[in-house]
Amino acid sequence: MADDKKFVEKITSREEDFASWYTDVVKEAKLCDYSSVRGCLNYLPNGYAIWENIQKNLDERFKKTGVQNVSLPMLIPESLLQKEKDHIEGFAPEVAWVTKGGVEDLEEKFCIRPTSETLFCDVWQKLVKSYRDLPLVWNQWCSVLRWEKTTRPFLRSREFLWQEGHTLHATYEEAEAKTKEMFQVYYDFVTQDLAIPLICGKKTESEKFAGAEDTYTIEAMMHDGKSLQSGTSHFFGSGFPDAFNIKYLDKENQPHSCYETSWGMSTRIIGAIIMVHGDDSGLVLPPRIAPTQATIIPIAQQKEGVLEKANEVLERLQKVNIRTKLDDSEKSPGFKYSEQEMLGIPVRIELGPRDIENNECVVVRRTTREKTVISLDEIETKLPEILEEIQKEMYESAKQFLEEHIYSVTTLEEMKKIGEEKIGFIKAMWCGDPECEDKIKAETGGYGSRCIPEKQEHLSDTCVCCGKEAKEMVIWGKSY
């Protein structure tokens, strides 16, 4: 029995200390660890396999919209980074600089990309000549580096994995529409594949990306009520393309400005999966993204015919593309259950001599521990149904949590009170002045503006902070 509790005992409970719970889960599920390079992570097999599935599903969604993948260099010459004023101001303090190549000091130093707007513009400047060359809808899967001071697994690290899409268009309207289209792709992917409900909208002036005209964000609520920015889509207008002198000739041979977007999602999203769905027994992975969807755990596996049947079930499930593993190691079934729960595998299939005699097996859900007895004849059809049900239930349950933790207020006092007593997001009206935004954050103990939702509500006429005329409703929250 000591064995059975091994994993759970290693995890701090969520209520006791959410931050410790998080790092315990990351460690015990062997998702990633810190490398010898300060602030940089080793993405270990269990963690990287989740990222591989994210890549696969998201990349398919991208390609359906016509995205083409490319790969541009990891280095950016200093002169290139400096071409767009706001951009260099935003990123210069946090880049790493290469100053030596081989044994020689470099004439011009290079930074390791913190993001690649400048590199994409540099390629396009040579490539784009006429309207026939547009639009360009490109993306790359890569890592970027930002010299952060404090780091946390998946949430903030110096080097992290992401995709960065960059597109170039002939008109303002087309680029703006693309910004929103990719924002929608993120929304669909996160809600449908990761079972994470979202709030979404535009960022305020002070929260938007360095150099962008507009930034759209999707934000998820973690179990501690804080927000995690989970994906952003930026509209640049013609700022970058003009700074890089990218012009196209129209049908009448007249030169025109181009319009640009970029959009990114990173390994941070794995942090969101952990903190939205996880519980005190460990990780809980949505079936659509789980590297292993089902583990078969044989009971009394030394008895004749048990492992044989388990292997048969394994093969049958793999044949219908259910990502299944068989744990036939010599550990006790209890230990295996605990391990399956720690790793967040959506279901385990318990299969013992009596089950085999009855031509059935017991499917246990990771989320609720609900047991379902299934005839072995129907396993190929029933298991996908159960996995789909789990996926839906995970979304519904997280959505309920999100909805129960959003409050509407009309005064700063109310806001402070909620900040002290509750966790979650707060809806409140705002005048549009960055000073009020800063003051609200300072006085509520960290409630920053998360987004300006497209679907506005009229909560009151005046700004919750200064009392002047309100411009829009903002969702406020503490954040990672």
What character string, x for contact with a second copy (CB under 8 A) and - otherwise, covers 108-137? -xx-x------x--xx--x-----------
315 binds a second copy (CB under 8 A): no
49 binds a second copy (CB under 8 A): yes
| Region 133-152 residues binding a second copy, contact defined as CB under 8 A | 138, 142-143, 145, 147
76 binds a second copy (CB under 8 A): yes
Is the Cβ–Cβ distance between 156 and 144 less than 8 Å? no
318 binds a second copy (CB under 8 A): no
SS3 (DSSP) at 130: strand
Phi and psi dihedrals of 191, rounded to 5?
-75, -40
120 to each of 123, 223, 239, 269, 328, how far by Cα in Å? 5, 37, 14, 24, 50
Q: Between 112 and 222, name the residue whose CB sits nearer to a second copy.
A: 112
CB of 260 vs a second copy, minimal distance in Å? 17
1 binds a second copy (CB under 8 A): no
Question: What radius of gyration do the chain's Cα atoms show?
Answer: 25
Count of CA atoms in the C-beta half-sphere (13 A) of 58 = 32
Among residues 44, 126, 45, which one has the least CA distance to residue 292? 45
Residues in the chain: 480
373 binds a second copy (CB under 8 A): no
CB of 101 vs a second copy, minimal distance in Å? 4
- Please report which helix (H) or strand (E) contains residue 176, including its range: helix 172-188
Q: Which stretch binds a second copy (CB under 8 A): 14-22, 104-112, 176-184, 398-406?
A: 104-112
Give me 252's structure tokens. Answer: 């009448």
Which one of residues 161, 190, 296, 451 is an interface residue with a second copy (CB under 8 A)?
161
Q: Which stretch binds a second copy (CB under 8 A): 91-99, 164-172, 186-194, 254-262?
A: 91-99
Residue 269 CA to residue 180 CA, distance in Å, equals 20
Annotate 364-394 with b (16+ C-beta within 10 A) or e (fewer): bbbbeeeeeebebeebeebbbebbeebbeeb
385 binds a second copy (CB under 8 A): no
94 binds a second copy (CB under 8 A): yes
Q: Which stretch binds a second copy (CB under 8 A): 95-103, 221-229, 343-351, 398-406?
A: 95-103
* Site residues, a second copy (CB under 8 A): 33, 35-37, 40-45, 48-49, 51-52, 68-77, 80, 93-103, 109-110, 112, 119, 122-123, 126, 138, 142-143, 145, 147, 159, 161
